[in-house]
Every structure is written in C-alpha cells, then in structure tokens.
A and B are shown apart, each in its own frame.
Chain A
Amino acid sequence: GQQLNQSPQSMFIQEGEDVSMNCTSSSIFNTWLWYKQDPGEGPVLLIALYKAGELTSNGRLTAQFGTTRKDSFLNISASIPSDVGIYFCAGHKTGNQFYFGTGTSLTVIP
C-alpha cells in the first residue's frame, strides 16, 4: 500500500538543538497525525491536525498541516534525551485507511 514520504530517515543531534521533519504525499488528506514510538511499544499520539494551514503546539512540539493538504511538518525545540524514538506521520481521508510515513529515528546526544 501507499506509504508517505517522510524525511529525514534518521537524525543525530545534540541535546538542546531544534529538530525538523516532514511528510509528503501524492494524495490530499483532511487529517494529519504525528506519533512517537518507543522500542517495543505502540505509537503514542503527539499532535493531530484537521485543517489546511493549521499550526498546533504541544509543549516543545509544533506541527503544521500544509496548505496544499499534501504535506505536514513537525518541529521539536530544545531537544532533550527523552525525545529519543521513532516519529511517524499519518495521513487520512474520511472513510479511508490511514497511511503512514516510513518514520524518522531521532537520537539525542547528551
């Protein structure tokens, strides 16, 4: 099935640095979600976006629903060691399945 293009695939950053990742699709979605997954656990919802152009924050995390409805962005400010994990984007159109990105693996170096 379709997988969204998520980049970068992996990131190694120093503690305190900001992080940016994005997801693009060839299809239009009306919902974008961002999840974080720790090893062996299920993905945990970080931010949900429901409108084109919407900018939503959750603590140090900020995500945007692209105006074309084909992309989304996630930023993490002032990274800390517990931000380590794999971040997934997911796009959805009502009545259809969710499509997931390939994931961004984040390593934070103390």
Chain B
Amino acid sequence: KAGVTQTPRYLIKTRGQQVTLSCSPISGHRSVSWYQQTPGQGLQFLFEYFSETQRNKGNFPGRFSGRQFSNSRSEMNVSTLELGDSALYLCASSLASGGPGTDTQYFGPGTRLTVL
C-alpha cells in the first residue's frame, strides 16, 4: 500500500504571496492532519480533517486554512505569507474508523516551504 504523499516537496515563495500544499493519505484513511515543524517550536498542530469536515483546530491565525475532498485528499493554504511561515509542513493520515488502533497516524515526507 502506498504511503502518505505530499506535493510539492520543496517550495520557495516571497512575502505576501499565498501557497497551496497537497496531501494524499494512505488509501482508505479518512482523517488527515496537518502540522508545522520549525527548529524552535517543534511539531505544531494546524488542523485535522475527517470526512471533509474540520474536526480539530490548533492555534494558528486565519491565514492558515485547509480542506478535504471526498476522496480524502487534503489541501492546506497559507495566504499573505510571512518570513516566519518558513517551515516543514507535514501531513499525517489515519484510518479513524473508531476501532482500536485506527487513530494511529502515518506521516508523509513533508513540504519544505521557504519564504523570502
């Protein structure tokens, strides 16, 4: 079974631009979570989508948004980019079917975003 895939792997943008990142979960997984990882702040939770609905949300400004499609693929958008948005953005998927162990998350390789 293919793992979680993220595109693009690397991205360079300038301040004020917007960016869209994509995540394809493991086949059959219904939950997709997004994280921001920076050296100083570690792994910070952005939001989780389950069956096309945002189920949990972290403490990030409204510039960070996401959505999930009916095939469980998810996109994350960051508008009006700031220098501090430079980070590794990770997505993780889980089956989330309610049974034991189905919440276990599997990560993608990440998208490295650099804001100049």
Contacts and interface: CB of A to CB of B under 8 A. Distances in A.
Contacts of B43: 43, 88, 100
Contacts of B33: 97-98
- Give the secondary structure class of B's interface: strand
Given A43-B90, A48-B101, A90-B105, A102 B42 contact: yes
* Residues of A in contact with B, size category: 20 to 34
B58 A1 contact: yes
Interface residues of B, number: 26
Contact of A41 (B101, B105, B106, B110): B110
Nearest to B44: A1
A33 B65 CA distance: 27
Interface string A15-40: 00000000000000001010100001
A105 to B, nearest CB: 11
Interface of B: 4, 6, 33, 42-45, 48, 55-56, 58-59, 88, 90, 92, 100-101, 103-110, 112
Interface of A: 1, 3, 31, 33, 35, 40-45, 48, 50, 88, 90, 92, 94-100, 102-103
